[in-house]
Structure 1
Amino acid sequence: MRTITFVTQKGGAGKTTLAASIAVAAAASGEKVVALDLDPQGSLWAWGESRAADEPAVDRLTAAQLAKLPAILASLEREGFTLAILDTAGVESTGGNLAMREAALCLIPARPTKLDIQATKPTVEALMRMEMRDRFAFVLNQCPPGRNSRSTEAAQGLSMLGVLATPTMTQRADHQDALASGLGVTEYAPDGKAADEVRALWQWIDRKTKGVPA
């Protein structure tokens, strides 16, 4: 079972929105997906509770359960799950560190601002201490539509710190509307540009974690 962890020590970067939509897109591609909410705020769990669809499976882990994360993931793999999506809190925590250690790939969302890019550095430093240099990538998220210097400069800045996933995610109302409706964006507006970007990002993640050049 592959494990994908969304992590950054900053709130508002879009971890939960991306985790939900990537989980849905992966399930639609044939993966048996479980999305686990490790954030005490429980936003991903609340999204899962509002869904009518059975897939992906969504659950939350308490603080006490986080210490057992490796065993929980092993149990889920025995149950036949092929992909786990972990949504972590926006602060440094033991649970977040465990989630990073267990990941085939850590995704670090960041908005195209100087503050957001600077805020990724503690997460990157933690991953380096864990010797996970080759197991993380940035997702440039909530970018203004169209070509603009802010997104270009942010992409260049993140590329200097590590791998930048493609494509970048544009700020579109479909993302928030989908989350509020208990849907992934590929379910909410399957023919929209936001859905196209999410499917392309999932394909990049899929190739990256299978060792195929992305």
Structure 2
Amino acid sequence: MKTLTLVTQKGGVGKTTIAASIAVAAAQAGEKVAALDLDPQGSLADWGDTREEDSIAVDRITPDQVSQLPQILQGLKGQGFTFVVLDTAGSANTTNNLAMKEADLCLVLARPSKLDLKATLPTVEALMRLEMKERFAFLLNQCPPNKSSRATEAASGLAMFGVLAEPAMTQLVDHQDAIAAGKGVTEYAPEGRASEEVRNLWTWIARKTKAK
């Protein structure tokens, strides 16, 4: 079983939206998927509650359950799950550290802005302390729909500090509409640009983690 953690010590970068769509794309690719919400805000769990499809298992991990995360993951593995997505809060805390430590791959999300790029540094420092240098990658999210120097410069800057996940995610309304409908974007608008990007991102993640 492979575990993916989405993390950054800044809110508003779209972790939950990407977590939901990656989980759905993984299930569509043949994985048995669980998506766990470790954020007290509970946005991913709320999304799961609105879903009509049962292609993935969505659950919330409460603060008093966090210390049991390794055992919870082992239990999911024992139930035959092959891929788990962990969505975390946009803050620095013990929960995020444990979620990062348990991951086969961490995606550190950032929008293409100086403030967002600077905000990734504490997360990267925490990953380094946890000896996760070989198990994280940056993901640029909410990039302008048209090519921009800002996104290019952001990609170049992040690549200097670590691996850059591919492709960058474009800011498209299909993402927000899919979440509102209780779907992943590849369910909501399967022929759209957002879906193509998410499927390509899943292919990159699967290759990086050697998921099936």
Q: Does 2:41 correspond to 1:36?
A: no
Aligned match of 2:69: 69
SS at match of 1:139: strand
Match of 2:179 in 1: 179
Unaligned stretches of 5+ residues in structure 1? none
For the 8 Å contact 2:2–2:211, the answer to whether it is kept is no
Amino acid at match of 1:103: A
Counterparts of 2:148 and 2:7, CA distance in 1: 26
Structure 1 residue matching 2:134: 3-state secondary structure: coil
Give me the whole-angstrom Cα distance separating, in 2, the residues matched to 1:211 and 1:156: 27
Structural RMSD (CA): 1.0
Alpha-carbon distance, 1:55 to partner: 1.6
- Write the distance in 2 (CA, Å) between the matches of 1:78 and 1:18: 26
Residues 44-193 of structure 1 mapped to structure 2, 5 A cutoff: 44-193=44-193
| Runs of 4+ displaced beyond 6 Å | none
Q: In the TM superposition, what whole-angstrom CA distance separates every residue of 1:57-92 from its partner, at most 9, and x where no partner exists?
A: 000001010000000000110000000000000001
Looking at structure 1, the residues matched to 128 and 88 of structure 2 have their Cα atoms a distance apart, in angstroms, of: 18
Give the percent of matched residue pairs that are identical in Structure 1 and Structure 2.
Answer: 67
For residues 152 and 211 of structure 1, the distance between their equivalents in structure 2, rounded to whole angstroms, comes to 29
Once the two structures are TM-superposed, the CA of residue 211 in structure 1 deviates from its matched residue by: 8.6
TM-score, normalising length from structure 2?
A: 0.99
Structure 2: give runs of 5+ residues left out of the alignment: none
SS in 1 for 2:108: strand
> 1:132-173: CA deviations, max 9, x gaps?
100000000000012110000000011011100000100000
